[in-house]
Amino acid sequence: MPGDGQVPDYNAEYANAAVAAARGGDTDAAREILSDFAAAIDRYSERTWRGSIPWAYVRYIADAFKRVLSGEPKNAGHALGIKTRAPGRRAGKTRQHNEEALAAAYWFLVRRGYRPETANKLLSEATGAVRRTIQKAAMNEGNLCFGDRDKIDDEDLKDVMKPYAVQIEIILAAYTKAP
C-alpha cells in the first residue's frame, strides 16, 4: 500500500472488490468472475497446466461456468453436476429406508398422542426419509403394522422399529408432551 514502499496491486484490489460485490449479491460481478475464470483456463491445456488442482477438475469447472453463463441449464447446480434433473431427488446415491421400521415408528408415535402429520414430520426430520415415504410405509397393507396395528403391542412395535430406535428416543426426549 502507499507509504510502505510497495506499488499497489490494482488487479488484486479490483478482484477483491469484485468478489465482495458478488458475495453481496451483485450478479454482474459474479458473472464477470465466472467469465474471467473460464477465460483464464481457456489459455491452458492439459499439457501446459501447472496448477496444484488436477487439470480435469479445472477444465470441468471452467466448462460448467461457461454453461452457467450461457443459461443452459437454467440451474447452476445442474451445470456443476451437483443437482439432478429430477425434482425432489438428491444427487448421488439414494438412501434406502426400512419401510416396515418407519411404519412401526410412525404408529408408535401416533399411539403416544402425536398427530399423524406431526409424527410424519418428526420422523422425516430425524431419519432423513421423505414424508411421502413415511406415509406410504404407514399405510402399506403389506407392512406388519398396517392390518393389525391396534392389536400389535408396543414391544412388537419397538422390536420392528429398532433401526430407528435412537431417533425415536430423541423425538420422545425432545417432546415430553406429545405436540
Sequence spans of domains, the chain = 10-80, 99-172
Which pLDDT score, from 0 to 100, does residue 43 have? 92
- What are the 10-residue block averages of pLDDT along the chain, 179 residues in total? 52 88 89 90 92 91 87 74 58 69 87 89 88 85 57 79 84 69
Which pLDDT score, from 0 to 100, does residue 54 have? 92
Which pLDDT score, from 0 to 100, does residue 42 have? 92
Which pLDDT score, from 0 to 100, does residue 8 have? 54
Q: Which three cell numbers stand for residue 114?
A: 402425536
Q: How many other C-beta atoms lie within 10 A of the C-beta of residue 137?
A: 24
Which pLDDT score, from 0 to 100, does residue 2 have? 46
C-alpha to C-alpha distance for 116 and 13, rounded to whole angstroms:
57
C-alpha to C-alpha distance for 50 and 1, rounded to whole angstroms:
30
Which pLDDT score, from 0 to 100, does residue 55 have? 92
C-alpha to C-alpha distance for 51 and 65, rounded to whole angstroms:
18
Q: Which three cell numbers stand for residue 86?
A: 429430477
* Residues contacting residue 58 through CB under 8 Å, at least 6 positions apart: 41, 44, 49, 51
Which pLDDT score, from 0 to 100, does residue 176 have? 62
